[in-house]
Structures are given as structure tokens and as C-alpha cells.
Amino acid sequence: MNSKIMELNKVEVWDGNMAATQAMRQADIDVVAAYPITPSTPVVENYATFHANGYIDGEFVMVESEHAAMSGCVGAAAAGGRVATATSSQGLALMVEVLYQASGMRLPMVLNIVNRALASPLNVNGDHSDLYLTRDSGWISLCTFSPQEVYDMNLCAFKIGEHMDVRLPVIVNQDGFLSSHTAQNIYPLQDKEACDFVGEYKPLNAMLDFSRPVTHGVQTEEDWHFEHKAKQHDALMNSTKVIAEVFAEFEKLSGRKYNFVESYKMEDAEIAIVVLGTTYESAQLAVDKMREEGIKAGVVAIRVFRPFPLKEVSDMLQNVKAVACMDRSAPGGSVGALYNEISGALFNSPARPLLSNIIYGLGGRDMTIGVLCDIYRDLDAEAKAGKLNGSIQRFVGVRGPELKYYKV
């Protein structure tokens, strides 16, 4: 634990960036190497302030780019330390090369991604373009829907990634501005409680252990590369056991329960949307409105984006008649990622709900409760008609002529 304790109130009013930083501070990190970028800048600023004020015993390294930030993290993690950083959007894009090194080298670390659109056109607001950019990077990817969850998932992330059965880096996603710059009630753990939960860092094949010299980041051609990548995938797939254990332990400590797939009023839902990010919470208000209108709506959100909870999400959607998979990212010439994942999840199951893909909220475009209600009403109409209304994919909330693709 850091030598200087910060006394926290039972309830604090923090935005998502502060929530991430406080969890990082409590996790007693050895090295943070970071380069600020909107909207994750305050994570780096807050952390530097805590460091300057003596609340952090570890190192804080200011680097010249995000590529260097992630490289610094890889170096420090290979050396045998607990490591974390934060970024967004273009910064994440610059980190991508090193993301694959971190996961391939099986180096645990925590990366806070404050989700933001990718240029061009330049845009600092929230969407999930950068989240999707990390899809195949081999990291565990956790999603949060409020500042409280950012705090909670950060504490869980260290414990999951560093577990000896996992040893993988972990991303914690939060929506740019809608979570990162939105201050809400947070019920934090005190420093000792949080630090004890995360636990002491246990190095594995540390480069600074001179009694046992090791090599990291080697070259393997056709003779061994496949075996390495297979083992990496196996570790990622089997991390579900540890994730479940950590979530259960966190619930005991905090009373807050987390699941691989979160849902609201799905028990008797006839129509549903599947989302990521803060939209999950807003959609609950829309669900309540729909139920007043007699429409049995529900909402499903993916908490653990990687490893993808294929079975859990499929189970959740077995009894619905129509589902809209909502992607907050430009799909780049196909259906959205979430649509693909959900289709794949359902294909080997008995359920055959109508499945549509909605593209929404790019570059921070507001998703209102009113629009969510309209989406539910459309879904209800489709469910009653027994067929999709003309196409699989459509854009919602965009100006100009209606955009629909993949006619049915």
C-alpha cells in the first residue's frame, strides 16, 4: 500500500476519469507511463497530481507519445512490476502495435480506454470506434456504464489480469464525456480495503530477477508461433473462471454484483436491444416507459467484451421475438461488430429472433430516451409483423436521407 493514505468519504462525487485514477492510486502501481489525450487526459493529470502530492509511491513516467507509453508499460511489466496507463482514440490507435506485444508477451497491465471517435473528421467525443479497434488484440476487455463501474472494474482488472492462471493485460472501457466527464455519486472503498482486494503484485519471469535470467519478446517463426498464439487464446478463453471469481469476491466486499452479460427486465421481454456503454443505463428508463405502454421491452449489455460471453448472451435472448444490436461505431462496410457477435451467438441455439443492426451515436451524437423509445416501438412493430421492416441495418439519429442496408 502507498505510504500516504487518502481519507475518502463514504460517498464521493467523481467523474469517470477521477474514478479510474482513484482506483489506480489505491492499486499501488509500480509504473504508470502515460501521454494525455482527450477525453482521458484527466486520468493522467489526476495521477500526476496524486504522485506530486506524495500519494503514490510508484513511478510516473511522462513519455513522448502513446506508442512510447505502451512501450514503457511493456518494459516495466516485463521487468516485474504492476503497470497501468490510460488513453483514447488516436492515442489508442498509435498504441495498437504495442497492444499486441503486451498480450503476446503475456504481460498483465491495466489500460483505461476512455472511448472516443476516431478521426477523420477529428472529433473528441464518445463513440466505440477505439473500443472496437482493440477487439482482436488479445486483451481482456471490460465495459463500464457509469463512473462507479469504472472504479469497480479498475480494481477487478488488476486482480484478473495478474492472476497466475491468466497473466494477460486488461482494458477497462468507459464512454468519453458521458462517463469520463460526468460526476456522479461514487461509493469507494477505503485505501486499505481496496489495496487488500487487489492484492500484492506477484511477478512471473521478471527480467529484474537476475537469479533466473529470461528473454521476453522473442521471435518465433512457423515452428513455434502458432503454439504461442494458441496458448494465448486458451488463456484468454479460460480467464472466464478467474473473472467470475473476482466478480464474486468484489461483490462480497462492496455489495455490487457484476455479470458477464448485464440485463434489465429480460425475464419476460419480447423485444430487446443489445448495447455497450452508458446507453445501457439510459435504455433502462426507456424500457420502463415502454412497459407503461404495454410493450414488453428489455435491454442487454455486454460487460465482458473479451473473452466474449457467447453462451451467456445467447441464453439471455432465447425468448425474444426481435432484437436490435446497437453499434456506436462506423461499421466500415459491413454490419456492426455487435450484430456479428450476437448473430454468431444465436446461430447454434434454437432461438430465431428477428435480428437488426442499428448504427447510432457516432462522434458523441446524443442518444435520447425518446429515440430509444422509438427504437423499441419499431422493434415491437417488427415483432408483431413477424419480419424486419425492409433491411437489416439502419442508421438512427443521423441527418439527411434515410440510410438502410442489406435489404430483406
Residues that bind other proteins in the complex, under the rule CB under 8 A = 9, 11-13, 15, 38, 124-125, 175, 177-179, 181-185, 278-279, 281-282, 284-285, 366-370
| Distance of alpha carbon 50 from alpha carbon 21, whole angstroms | 9
Sign of CA dihedral 113, 118, 124, 126: negative
**What amino acid is encoded at 165 in this protein?**
D
Q: How far is the CB of 185 from other proteins (least distance, A)?
A: 5
Nearer to other proteins, 39 or 169 (CB): 39
In the complex, the smallest distance separating the C-beta of residue 279 from other proteins, rounded to whole angstroms, is: 7
Return the number of the residue (13 or 248) whose C-beta is nearest other proteins: 13
Q: How far apart are CA 87 and CA 32, in angstroms?
A: 12
Which of residues 253 and 371 has its CB atom nearest to other proteins in the complex? 371
Cβ at position 268, least distance to other proteins in Å: 20
Query: C-beta of 371: minimal distance to other proteins in Å?
Result: 9
Rounded to a whole number of angstroms, the minimum distance from the CB of residue 327 to other proteins is: 17
Q: CA–CA separation, 192 vs 164, rounded Å? A: 23
Nearer to other proteins, 181 or 303 (CB): 181
C-alpha span between 161 and 68 (Å, rounded): 22
When the beta carbons of 199 and 370 are compared against other proteins, the nearer one is 370
Residues 6+ apart with CB under 8 A from 32: 24, 47, 58, 59, 60, 61, 83, 84, 85
Angle of helix 225-254 versus helix 191-198 axis, rounded to 10: 150
Q: Which is nearer to other proteins, 151 or 177 (CB)?
A: 177
Least Å from the CB of residue 58 to other proteins: 23
In angstroms, give the least distance from the CB of 70 to other proteins. Answer: 24
Distance between CA atoms of residues 232 and 89, nearest Å: 26
Helix H or strand E segment including 233: helix 225-254
H helices present in 12-110, as ranges: 16-26, 41-52, 66-79, 89-104
- How many Å apart are CA 187 and CA 194, to the nearest integer? 12
Would you say 177 or 247 has its CB closer to other proteins? Answer: 177
| Cell numbers standing for residue 207 | 527480467
